[in-house]
């Protein structure tokens, strides 16, 4: 009886673990599918990172898949960022994710995202221009976030990482130092109070040039996105069964069933 009880506990633990692993993988694949679908719907000539960023979330909201990216951003951002190159392999797909995050993440999550993004930029996994856009968000939801929170440890960490990324860019180095010193906060308050529309703070010569297309931290990247073929996935919802080969929710049912068995065994073995 004790052996069966132990086996049941072990099997339940494994089932629960597999449940969460499959759920995490599912979130990543779902995000990749949604992003790829948005790319395929971008009009010709607007499928560049600059066009995506300049258009912003208000323009991207016309795509249902982007709206879904926004809706799930606060629960999936960490998993997405941890596997950014797989989820968004091109600068255009990364720009779509960045716009979804900028327009949806709460303050704490956006700061944590920036911390991870700055680390990825140090490793060459996010190019400098995309990181710059993330550091200077235009959406009212998070614009001025670094300036207003300059004294928080996480902001200091973000900016120290950014200074490594922009070691050869005097304008960005000054931008980071101005925030770290608190000098930029007053300027941001004045700027944003005088400008009610969504827009980024002035970045002098560091502002991305709208005429740019794809940019890269090291070397050149493809001039056009290479979206994943999503024809085999009719919708993100179909992923759960079609891509995993085994519906992950079954692990949850098995876990609950095993818990029931454990409870019954415990009830029968308890002292009378």
* pLDDT above 90 (res 236): no
Residue 168 tokens, joined: 């050869």
Mind listing the pLDDT tens digit for each residue in 134-175?
999 988 889 899 999 999 999 999 999 999 999 999 999 999
d(CA 134, CA 137): 5
The tokens for 36 are 């790829």
Question: What pLDDT was estimated at residue 192?
Answer: 73
- Residue 133: which of 229, 60, 199, 219 has the closest Cα? 199
pLDDT in tens, 174-227: 999 999 999 999 888 877 766 554 555 444 333 333 333 333 333 333 333 332
pLDDT digits (tens, 9 = 90+) for 254-263: 666 667 777 7
Residue 27's pLDDT band (cuts 50, 70, 90): confident
Q: What is the pLDDT of residue 97?
A: 96
Higher-pLDDT residue of 65 and 233 is 65
User: Residue range 101-115: average pLDDT?
Assistant: 96
DSSP 229: -
pLDDT value at residue 202: 42
pLDDT value at residue 11: 53
Give the domain ranges of the chain: 24-217+226-247
pLDDT at residue number 262? 73
Q: Are 147 and 107 in contact (CB under 8 A)?
A: no
Interior CA angle at 177 toward 172 and 182, to 5°? Answer: 130
| Distance in angstroms (rounded) separating the CA atoms of residues 67 and 60 | 8
């Amino acid at each position: 009886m004790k052996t069966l009880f132990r086996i049941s506990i072990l099997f339940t633990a494994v089932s629960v673990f597999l449940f969460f692993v499959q759920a995490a993988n599912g979130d990543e694949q779902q995000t990749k599918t949604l992003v790829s679908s948005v790319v395929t719907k971008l009009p010709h000539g607007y499928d560049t990172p600059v066009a995506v960023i300049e258009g912003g979330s208000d323009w991207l909201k016309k795509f249902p898949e982007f709206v879904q990216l926004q809706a799930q951003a606060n629960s999936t951002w960490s998993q997405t960022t941890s596997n950014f190159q797989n989820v968004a392999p091109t600068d255009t797909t990364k720009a779509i994710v960045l716009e979804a995050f900028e327009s949806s993440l709460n303050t704490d999550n956006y700061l944590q995202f920036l911390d991870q993004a700055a680390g990825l930029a140090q490793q060459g996994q996010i190019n400098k221009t995309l990181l710059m856009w993330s550091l200077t968000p235009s959406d009212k939801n998070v614009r001025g976030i670094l300036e207003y929170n300059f004294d928080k440890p996480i902001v200091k960490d973000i900016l120290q990482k950014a200074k490594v990324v922009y070691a050869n860019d005097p304008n960005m180095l000054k931008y980071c130092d101005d925030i770290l010193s608190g000098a930029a906060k007053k300027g941001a308050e004045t700027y944003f109070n005088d400008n009610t529309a969504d827009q980024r703070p002035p970045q002098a010569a560091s502002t991305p040039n709208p005429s740019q297309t794809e940019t890269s931290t090291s070397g050149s990247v493809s001039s056009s996105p290479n979206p994943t073929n999503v024809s085999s996935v009719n919708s993100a919802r179909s992923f759960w069964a079609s891509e995993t080969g085994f519906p992950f929710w079954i692990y949850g049912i098995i876990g609950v069933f095993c818990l029931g068995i454990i409870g019954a065994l415990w009830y029968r073995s308890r002292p009378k």
